[in-house]
Amino acid sequence: MKMKGPENLKDRYVTEDVPYGMVLISTLGDLLKTPTPTHDAIIQLASVISRTNYWKTGRGIKELGLSKMTKQSLKKFLTEGKR
């Protein structure tokens, strides 16, 4: 039986989802004071195994210009598109 999922660490599920999806979710968790320990562990493990620092190469709230937002301003931005 063949497994469904990435067959190696150069698969887009790792090289795209970890730095651009998981790092964003983790940094949003930091902003909202919501711990994301499992997410953080997967990012760290993927970084070590693939020899790429996804924390540095990924896109978090800082890279998207959201790091200075409050919970309320982020909610307004996401629902209304306004800062």
Domain residue limits, the chain: 12-80
- What per-residue confidence (pLDDT) applies to 19? 95
**Range 25-37 burial, b when 16+ CB lie within 10 A, else e:** ebbbbebeeeebe
Taking the chain (83 residues) in runs of 10, the rounded mean pLDDT of each run is 71 86 96 96 94 95 92 90 76
**Homologous superfamily of domain range 12-80:** N-(1-d-carboxylethyl)-l-norvaline Dehydrogenase; domain 2 (1.10.1040.10)
pTM of the entire structure? Answer: 0.83
Residue 53 CA to residue 51 CA, distance in Å, equals 7
